[in-house]
């Protein structure tokens, strides 16, 4: 919601969309950290950067500066979602070119109508802050409106649910139908009508077999990718002081566990017969017969942390020495990728995020996060 609010307010102020959206998000997280003590909540970013920021430092000119907030704000995850849901017009994927559609403006208005700090509209309060040179005034209503830990007002939730079901004009009918099925799956999981699943059990609400196949293929590919990253990390840990790691029988023996995990993961993707050329090429490289060939190919793909020099692996420009070695028999991506809430192994984070969005629209997300924190504390 904060990203869409940023687009809406920026249009009314004549400012850059990215600048305004980042500043509003930073302000919302500051309010959550300082007025809700919610710095550890996964919906809040920038706890380390914002924890020591005082109210006197909240002038817009200061908040908008590069480095004030995190380098990867939550706004970045909305670049595809906002156009797909028909909330913004987008001539490209650049956030700065977004303009609110009628549906987007209506959603912002439904959200803003629930909050009137100092008997003014949210847009007016934020516009005054953006155009002025003083820190924004802080009140309970402003915190309720902007803190990312707060649920949306009921009217806004209803409009958002409609957008999720309907989709935008730029979205294909197939993509809209797939999201509706995923929402139905998320709701079935929420109310406990679906048991924990694996990839051999397609839920009945996922009506398209190709959709389920694409979900599994994506999951298997990312498990293979994570296994490859683990192998590269293992090689980094083996790098000797002279910065040259020889690709020989000894190295292949040391890396045999990580290599075996990578091959299993890559084979699992290839066996599904998905035709995405880059993914197929990568997994074929990971299943090459020779261990040394696999190691060299992965390092050549990296080229930044590790790189090839002849037949040897050497430290790249981004290499940082590890303080302790990893075990080649450490848990692999295959065993770590399953979601604790019982999703099939490696399921896309977008599916899990949609599940969490559905929880949030039913006012249950905070309870879910609290339950997870309690479980982790008792382990």
User: What tens digit of pLDDT does each residue of 196-223 get?
Assistant: 678 998 999 999 999 999 999 999 999 9
pLDDT one-digit tens code per residue, 115-132 = 999 999 999 999 999 999
pLDDT of the residue at 374: 45
Q: pTM for the complete prediction?
A: 0.85
- Tens of pLDDT, residue by residue over 311-359, are 899 999 999 887 555 554 444 444 444 344 578 999 999 999 999 999 9
Closest C-alpha to 8, from 119, 120, 121, 116? 121
Q: At what angle do helices 2-13 and 122-131 cross, to 10 degrees?
A: 60
Q: How far is CA 167 from the centre of its chain?
A: 21
Is the per-residue pLDDT at 377 higher than 60? no
Task: Output the pLDDT for position 101.
Answer: 97
- C-alpha to C-alpha distances, 126 to 54, 99, 210, 374, nearest whole angstrom: 19, 18, 46, 37
Rounded-to-integer distance, Cα 292 and Cα 77, Å? 38
Q: 208 near 310, Cβ under 8 Å?
A: no
- pLDDT number for residue 371: 56
Q: What residue spans define the domains of the chain?
A: 2-159, 172-207+348-378, 211-335
Q: Which helix (H) or strand (E) holds 117?
A: none
pLDDT band at 247 (very low <50, low <70, confident <90, very high): very high
Percent of the chain's residues with pLDDT above 70: 92
End-to-end CA distance of the chain: 34
> pLDDT tier at 378 (50, 70, 90 boundaries)?
very low
Q: Are 305 and 231 in contact (CB under 8 A)?
A: no
For the record, the structure tokens of 332 come out as 């692999």
Secondary structure tally for the chain: helices H, strands E: 18, 5
- pLDDT tens, residue by residue, 280-320: 999 999 999 999 999 999 999 999 999 999 989 999 999 98
Helix 102-112 vs helix 122-131: crossing angle, to nearest 10: 100
């Amino acid at each position: 919601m904060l990203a869409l609010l940023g687009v809406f307010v920026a249009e009314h102020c004549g400012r850059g969309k990215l600048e305004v959206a980042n500043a509003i998000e930073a302000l919302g997280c500051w309010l959550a950290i300082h007025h809700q003590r919610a710095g550890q909540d996964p919906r809040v970013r920038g706890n380390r950067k914002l924890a020591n920021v005082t109210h006197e430092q909240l002038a817009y000119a200061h908040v908008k500066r590069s480095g004030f907030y995190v380098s990867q704000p939550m706004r970045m995850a909305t670049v595809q979602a906002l156009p797909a849901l028909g909330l913004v017009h987008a001539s490209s994927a650049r956030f700065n070119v977004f303009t609110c559609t009628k549906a987007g403006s209506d959603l912002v208005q439904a959200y803003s109508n629930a909050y009137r700090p100092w008997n003014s509209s949210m847009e007016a309060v934020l516009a005054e802050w953006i155009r002025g040179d003083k820190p924004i005034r802080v009140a309970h209503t402003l915190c309720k409106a902007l803190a990312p830990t707060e649920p949306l007002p009921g009217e806004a939730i209803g409009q958002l649910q409609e957008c999720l079901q309907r989709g935008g004009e730029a979205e294909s009918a197939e993509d809209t139908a797939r999201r509706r099925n995923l929402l139905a799956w998320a709701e079935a999981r929420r109310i406990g009508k679906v048991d924990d699943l694996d990839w051999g059990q397609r839920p009945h609400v996922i009506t398209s077999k190709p959709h389920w196949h694409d979900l599994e293929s994506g999951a298997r590919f990312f498990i293979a990718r994570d296994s490859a990253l683990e192998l590269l990390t293992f090689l980094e840990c083996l790098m000797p002081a002279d910065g040259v790691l020889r690709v020989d029988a000894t190295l292949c023996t040391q890396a045999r566990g990580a290599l075996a995990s990578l091959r299993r993961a890559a084979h699992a993707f290839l066996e599904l017969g998905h035709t995405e050329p880059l993914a197929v090429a990568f997994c074929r490289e990971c299943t090459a017969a020779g261990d040394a060939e696999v190691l060299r190919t992965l390092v050549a793909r990296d080229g930044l942390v590790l790189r090839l020099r002849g037949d040897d692996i050497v430290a790249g420009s981004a290499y940082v020495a590890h303080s302790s070695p990893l075990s080649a028999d450490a848990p692999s991506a295959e065993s770590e990728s399953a979601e604790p809430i019982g999703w099939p192994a490696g399921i896309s984070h977008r599916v899990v995020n949609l599940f969490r969005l559905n929880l949030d629209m039913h006012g249950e997300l905070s309870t879910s996060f609290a339950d997870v924190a309690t479980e982790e504390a008792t382990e």
